[in-house]
Structure 1
Amino acid sequence: MNGIRRIVILGGGSAGWMSAAAFATGLRGVAIELVESEEIGIIGVGEATFPSIRQFNDILGIDEADFLAATRGSYKLGIQFRDWKQRGEHYFHTFGDFGHLDGPMALWGQLRRLQVAPQTPLGEFCLPTVMASQGRFCRPADGDQGLASRYTYAYHFDATLYAAFLRRLAEGRGARRTEGRVVGVERHEDGRVRALRLADGREVEGDLFIDCSGLASLLIGQTLEQRFVDYSHWLPVDRAWAVPTERAPGGLAPFTRSTALEAGWAWRIPLQDRTGNGHVFSSRYIDEGRAREQLLAQLDAPPLAEPRLLRFRTGHRERFWVKNVVAIGLAAGFLEPLESTAIFMVHNALGRLIPLLGEADHAEGAVGFNVQQLRQFQRIRDFIILHYALSERRDSEFWRALTSMALPESLDYKLHAWRETGTLHVYDNEAFDTTSWLAIHAGMGHWPRRRSPWLDEMPAELAGRYLAERHQAIAALATHMPEHDSYLRSRMQAL
């Protein structure tokens, strides 16, 4: 492994144990040691993810039913956004598809061409959106079976249980855990980290160090002094109250819910045995006490604990791989969890890092890694800002500020391309594809100013039949799918 014989991971939690499991699975002949202290807590709230988590689990050889049982997990078809456009309105960010997105067959374009207000929502032409609205779930059909196979899904799960699950897997594949609180970092003359010094005097030496120390960013931030690139002028939320509740009455929703509030938004993540709830807010626009009250007012079941306050800044370190230290997870940066990107950022970084470790020139690999990680943060930043920028809410100082602020040039260009030409422009290193961008534009009622002349190439009668057939096919498919609760129970009973 080109000089790397021992990898030391600082910090446990999801990021640390995902790293340990990935290295223990993908790297041969390398000793993996994870250092963590039971004295230091982890964030550990309920997690929502998006579909790429399935690929990560598959690479590790994790059986889905085992995973769901161990983490109290449930299925996720997307995110429901409540009160984001205006109070009383909602839309769905789907993990499905909307058919063709450009040219004469563009479904959204033909729908707008043929209908007069009030229009049938675009979501009714997307199978997982309809499934979610009815509380149904079924995994996509194998192979190419039309609409029944053209969607995907993710999970909700308990992050603390996921870390424990991955710990068992990683240790079973040779990773070693060391209990200890780090009180110092020893370095070589050239600045590379040589060892972590523990409170009891022990030293843990390594060739490569993975910083999973969370928001403390002990190695990449404090030791190697990488500047924090602050995004709070675009994303001013800097606090979150989190609280678990009893499982909500009724069926288990196969989606995450985000509800816009006075100075932020509330999340709801349904697990098998409880519900994760939280309120992400900006202390610039609301005090902590009032934000706590607003969270408690959102709960639809009794709380299981007192709300816990988390403090953070949105942004990232200037570089992510410096000398022999690579930051993964919160140590690298934080973006508000509006689109469930935290776990994605971990496994995506690992997938990018591991192949580079086998190359001869790690310095060159670090340059490319840093560029791609930077772009990843910027692309996700823009997608999150999109939700605020398109809102029509002006009922609080927070919303007036976020809907009138100057946008990053990269996002401004995308919005211009969409408004003027109907083009869903995406860059490299995007986490969200054109379907995701369309879901937000459609949900917010943000459409191009002019209709594409290409749409008229399809006769109106044919276009109408095309829309009606898809609408009817989706309704029929959804009707025959099991409820999410029933499907999940059948998966658990198969163990």
Structure 2
Amino acid sequence: MTYERIVVLGGGTAGWMAATALATGLKGTTVELVESEDIGTVGVGEATFPSIRNYHQILGIPEADFLRATNGTYKLGIRFRDWRVKGEDYYHTFGDFGMLNGPESLWGQYRRHPRANLPTFGEQCLPTVMAMNDRFCAPGKDAANFNYAYHFDANLYARFLRDIALKRGVRRTEGKVVDVARRPDGGIASLKLDDDRVVKGDLFIDCSGFASLLLGRTLGEPFVDFSHWLPVDRAWAVPSAPVGDTLTPYTRATALDAGWAWRIPLQDRTGNGHVFSTRFIDKEKARDQLLQQLDGEALAEPRLLRFTTGHRAKFWSHNVVGIGLATGFLEPLESTSIYLVQVGVGRLMTLLQRGGPVALELVDTYNTGLTRQFERIRDFILMHYCLTARRDTPFWQAMAAAELPETLAYKLHAWRETGVLHQYDEEGFDGHSWLAIHAGMQNWPARSDPTLKLIPEEQSLDWVRERASQLATAVATVPTHREYLAKILGR
């Protein structure tokens, strides 16, 4: 059967991202979104991945309009504080370190001079130097290769997308689902609301958050648990008042006793949170540690979120496609929650735009691809923990001693033994991102590529010094993040 009527269950970021894409890309299809104002959304996903810019471009959303509507700011990457050892930090920005292999690999030549009193390796990357100086500009046609993302208020973002979706023909239905009718083949036939209305559909998009009302609760899709690798299971979240004139163009992640704290700067406030493991710290102590991290006055009482890291065994089952938290969750260390929503929506759109029913083998491919995306991102996040030199609390001792997934163990072995940044299919992060974490954690290969010596030593040293100097000079002329944002917003 064809999908003439698509029902999206749940609003929030995932629901309205899906509905807006469906309404934009599937002309002639009826799209109905069911949500209840009485059911709150998580709404803490305020940091994003650069792919969101592609989503906005496809949907024709102007950057300035989006930033204005969501109190948004720019994000060059993440500053990791106290992760390797206390008192030390490094950056993972969306930048380019040049060649990653061979004699012209920048990192390889940099490592030839361990006692040359060079700047940090991060200072060989343009967006990192901008982040370190609280400056920002978008890449120009002739600029070095780098990317950027955003920080924004997730609740305002959902409202912003809702307005766009409604203008493009999405029908919004207010109501709580009290019953789900099944089809003879096991799929979903309709949703019954609390006022006895019935919403029928050919395809259902489950964006009901952690409740996973259709994919998990109704269809009983099993959950693949990652908590033995990523044991954090709670997060406190609280906004605080901004302090001072500096507007940092990056997310800050500070390692604490049994987890880490985020800091996300918006135009009108700062988003803060503490992701932690209840196996290693009491929730009230974790709350106190978060409040101690705030730069300004707390603007509300901290809110506690509960979660388990992992994903549903299938993302598409029968005529139900899960998007967002309904499918699973990976802790927000690298801001991938909205990225995974976008990946799911994008792949779904590709299949639906072919026309007609989606063949079972393509559904299997969809499920395999999303499963691998979760696994690859899991490995990237876990790398931040397993490379630490911290052993000062039971949490960090346990993370350092934990058994790794074979996919990650092989990657780390390949890097340490050969200097190869091995990549699988369905990677969320490229070699430059992996290199940024390795460098920040001082995790360098045990052996050097002998072809590095094809470049004379003094020439090599001059190269890395000159690059750092040129980047520092270039960034000195870049406007501050606040100045650039004001210009874009016309203020």
TM-score range, shorter chain: over 0.9
CA distance, structure 2, for counterparts of residue 191 and residue 270 of structure 1? 46
Instruction: Report % sequence identity.
Output: 61
1:66 aligned residue: 65
Counterpart selection for 1:286 from 257, 263, 281: 281
Shift of 1:247: 1.3
Letter in 1 for 2:64: A
For the 8 Å contact 2:204–2:321, the answer to whether it is kept is yes
CA distance, structure 2, for counterparts of residue 235 and residue 314 of structure 1? 7
Counterpart selection for 2:432 from 432, 435, 445: 435
2:40 aligned residue: 41
TM-score under structure 2 length normalisation: 0.98
Shift of 1:120: 2.5
CA distance, structure 2, for counterparts of residue 288 and residue 361 of structure 1? 45
1:137 aligned residue: 136
Shift of 1:462: 2.3
Q: Secondary structure at the match of 2:489?
A: helix
Q: Deviations over 1:339-365 (max 9, x none)?
A: 000000001111111111225543222
Counterpart selection for 2:450 from 444, 448, 453: 453
1:223 aligned residue: 218
CA distance, structure 2, for counterparts of residue 450 and residue 387 of structure 1? 22
Distance 1:349 1:207, change over 3 A: same
For the 8 Å contact 2:83–2:390, the answer to whether it is kept is yes
Shift of 1:118: 4.8
Q: Secondary structure at the match of 1:183?
A: strand
For the 8 Å contact 2:260–2:275, the answer to whether it is kept is yes
Counterpart selection for 2:467 from 462, 470, 484: 470
Counterpart selection for 2:485 from 483, 488, 495: 488
Structure 2 gaps of 5+ residues are none
Distance 1:46 1:234, change over 3 A: closer
2:441 aligned residue: 444
For the 8 Å contact 2:98–2:106, the answer to whether it is kept is yes
For the 8 Å contact 1:46–1:276, the answer to whether it is kept is no
2:49 aligned residue: 50
For the 8 Å contact 2:126–2:144, the answer to whether it is kept is no
Q: Secondary structure at the match of 1:84?
A: coil
For the 8 Å contact 1:123–1:129, the answer to whether it is kept is yes
Distance 1:117 1:297, change over 3 A: farther
Residue 158 (structure 1) aligned with residue 153 (structure 2):
yes
2:315 aligned residue: 320
For the 8 Å contact 1:46–1:269, the answer to whether it is kept is no
For the 8 Å contact 1:266–1:295, the answer to whether it is kept is yes
CA distance, structure 1, for counterparts of residue 114 and residue 196 of structure 2? 73
For the 8 Å contact 1:51–1:152, the answer to whether it is kept is yes
Counterpart selection for 1:237 from 220, 223, 232: 232
For the 8 Å contact 1:356–1:362, the answer to whether it is kept is no
1:199 aligned residue: 194
1:81 aligned residue: 80
For the 8 Å contact 2:45–2:337, the answer to whether it is kept is no
1:157-306 mapped onto 2 (5 Å cutoff): 157-306=152-301
CA distance, structure 1, for counterparts of residue 469 and residue 329 of structure 2? 42
1:325-404 mapped onto 2 (5 Å cutoff): 325-357=320-352, 358=354, 360-404=357-401
Shift of 1:446: 0.2
Q: Aligned Cα RMSD in Å?
A: 1.0
Q: Secondary structure at the match of 1:403?
A: helix
For the 8 Å contact 1:10–1:210, the answer to whether it is kept is yes
Distance 1:466 1:118, change over 3 A: closer
Counterpart selection for 2:406 from 405, 409, 417: 409
TM-score under structure 1 length normalisation: 0.97
Q: Deviations over 1:26-71 (max 9, x none)?
A: 1111000000011110001251001110000111100000000000
Q: Deviations over 1:416-468 (max 9, x none)?
A: 00000000001111110000000000000000001110101111232223223
CA distance, structure 1, for counterparts of residue 435 and residue 475 of structure 2? 22
CA distance, structure 1, for counterparts of residue 476 and residue 54 of structure 2? 29
For the 8 Å contact 1:125–1:474, the answer to whether it is kept is yes
Letter in 2 for 1:51: P
CA distance, structure 2, for counterparts of residue 35 and residue 486 of structure 1? 41
Q: Which has the larger displacement, 469-478 or 235-244?
A: 469-478
1:25 aligned residue: 24
For the 8 Å contact 1:249–1:301, the answer to whether it is kept is no
CA distance, structure 2, for counterparts of residue 381 and residue 486 of structure 1? 36
1:311 aligned residue: 306
CA distance, structure 1, for counterparts of residue 238 and residue 303 of structure 2? 6
Q: Secondary structure at the match of 1:155?
A: strand
CA distance, structure 2, for counterparts of residue 80 and residue 117 of structure 1? 25
CA distance, structure 1, for counterparts of residue 281 and residue 216 of structure 2? 29
Letter in 1 for 2:402: M
Letter in 2 for 1:202: R
Q: Secondary structure at the match of 2:46?
A: strand
CA distance, structure 2, for counterparts of residue 35 and residue 340 of structure 1? 27
Q: Secondary structure at the match of 2:180?
A: strand
How many equivalent pairs are there?
489
Letter in 1 for 2:261: A
Q: Secondary structure at the match of 2:178?
A: strand
Letter in 1 for 2:82: D
Letter in 2 for 1:217: S
CA distance, structure 2, for counterparts of residue 118 and residue 436 of structure 1? 24
For the 8 Å contact 2:176–2:193, the answer to whether it is kept is yes
CA distance, structure 1, for counterparts of residue 118 and residue 389 of structure 2? 19
Q: Secondary structure at the match of 1:355?
A: helix
Q: Deviations over 1:146-176 (max 9, x none)?
A: xx23111000000000000000000000001
1:423 aligned residue: 420
Residue 109 (structure 1) aligned with residue 114 (structure 2):
no
